[in-house]
Amino acid sequence: MDELVPSAKGRVVDDWRELFPSRPVDAPSYALDLVGPLIAHDERDCLFARHDLRPDSDRYQTYYARHPERQALDDELRSLPGLGGGEGPAVKALGDAIFASALLLGSEESVQGLPPAGGAGQRVQLPPEEAAAKVKGLAHLLGADLIGIGPLNPAFVYTHVGRTFYPEQRWGAPIVLDHPYAINLGIRMNVGGLMRTAPQYPVLLESANAYARGALIAVQVATYLRRLGYSARAHHLRNYQVLSVPVAVDGGLGELARCGFLVTREYGNCLRLATVTTDLPLATDAPVDLGVQHFCERCQVCAKECPAGAIPNGPKVEVHRLRKWALDAERCYRYWLETGSDCALCIVACPWSHWALGSRPEETEAPPAGSHLRPARRPNWLR
């Protein structure tokens, strides 16, 4: 482990995170891995959007006419039991209920609202520093654990709609989002609970809960901005138009790690994200260098512990003109569908998440290293 962390130079430290100070930098750490102008992603290519395609639909025929190389694998994944598939109806309904709360908050009226009343002339004028302080204060009040404000890079806006949960959403419609600012909301999860139960069904409930909380916070923050007279849009589990992880990196929350997650100094990769974009002028936070690139280059624990072999243990590769550790999404999702949960073994294996243990009163002492590989325990109410 010594080669993973900077030298303490004889100092005694109570928290390893003291060895990884959050150092503001002019450009995010991924800037060193750019090999050209970034290419924006089409949400239709997202594995979740492909999984939504039904074989008897026009969009199924349209998509696989363009991407025949993906059809056989996607059809195979669609044949698997699915999230919660191995649970009894009373237990499966728990996850369905939590996810449904995010669905209630994802309509265009919820995430985008009506045009600002009265036009720009009725806007509340605030200095960018004051506006940012008010937004952060509200988000903290509503329950966000981490908040960072950054510029919205157009390359991190999806080009076309791929997931449709509401009648007003049109699959394949071009996405036009010209907001210059992004408010990034980090919602921490119960890492102690994940360590005790991963990769079983309770981890899906924890993820759903974090996503639902993030959806509510994002919608409320966006509504506040619109009440000030500005355009604002919430982006959460049931209605994204942006890639929340790189946007959060630009907003100073953390760095992109080997596992494909955002890693933060405070909670490791044990959190979920929601985003609010807006044209309200806001003071922005600088990107940070936590030492994650150096750490992940040498650590590789998440790759070794991934039961699907989806996390690479080799060097970075080019994806959309960015060199990164490329997650094998199909392998990862196959394991989810086979186990009926979203796994979380990469979360509980990550040393950065272990450092966050105990940050909530209900979390108990961490089990011994590697104990997450033993059969997980389920609380009585989930039996």
Cβ atoms of residues 7 and 302 within 8 Å? no
pLDDT at 349: 94
Residue 52: CB partners within 8 Å, gap ≥ 6? Answer: 163, 164
| pLDDT in the model for residue 363 | 44
Lowest-pLDDT choice from 13-27, 68-82, 242-256, 303-317: 13-27
Here the tokens at position 256 are 């992109």
8 A C-beta contact, residue 312 and residue 352: no
Spatial distance between the Cα atoms of 118 and 14, rounded to a whole number of angstroms: 54
| Residue position matching structure tokens 């950054």 | 150
Averaged pLDDT for residues 254-259 = 97
Average pLDDT in the 178-195 region?
95
CB 236 within 8 A of CB 214: yes
Please, which pLDDT band fits residue 297 given cuts at 50, 70 and 90? very high
Mean pLDDT lowest for which of 17-21, 160-164, 200-204, 268-272? 17-21
Q: Rounded to 5 degrees, what are φ and ψ at 186? A: -105, 125
372 has pLDDT over 50: no
Q: How crowded is residue 120: how many other Cβ atoms within 10 Å of its Cβ? A: 10
Helices within 244-305 (DSSP H only): 244-250, 292-299, 301-305
| Cβ pair 234, 147 in contact under 8 A | no
How confident is residue 375, by pLDDT bands cut at 50, 70 and 90? very low
**Higher-confidence residue: 118 or 74?**
74
Question: Which residue is associated with the tokens 């186990």?
Answer: 339
What is the 3-class SS of 54-100, one letter each residue?
A: CCCCHHHHHHHHHCHHHHHHHHHHHCCCCCCCCCCHHHHHHHHHHHH
- Give the pLDDT score at 355: 75
What is the tens place of the pLDDT at every residue in 94-140? 999 999 999 999 999 999 986 655 555 589 999 999 999 999 999 99
pLDDT of residue 366: 42
146-151, strands of its sheet edge to edge: 146-151, 181-188, 271-278, 232-235
Q: What is the mean pLDDT of residues 206-212?
A: 97
Q: List Cα–Cα distances, 258 to 89, 174, 313, 321, in angstroms.
A: 36, 31, 8, 17
In the block, residue with structure tokens 């492909």: 50
* Average pLDDT of the segment spanning 154-162: 98
Q: Which helix (H) or strand (E) holds 373?
A: none
Indicate whether 168 pLDDT > 70: yes
**For 168-184, what is the mean pLDDT?**
97
User: pLDDT class for 22, splitting at 50, 70, 90?
Assistant: confident
Domain boundaries, the chain: 15-42+87-114+125-382, 46-79
How confident is the model at residue 364, as a pLDDT? 41
- Count of other CB atoms within 10 angstroms of residue 40: 15
Inform me whether the pLDDT recorded for 56 exceeds 70: yes
**Which amino acid, residue 61?**
Q
Separation of alpha carbons 320 and 310, rounded Å: 19
What's the pLDDT score for residue 147? 98
- Comparing 202-206, 317-321, 366-370, the range with the smallest average pLDDT is 366-370
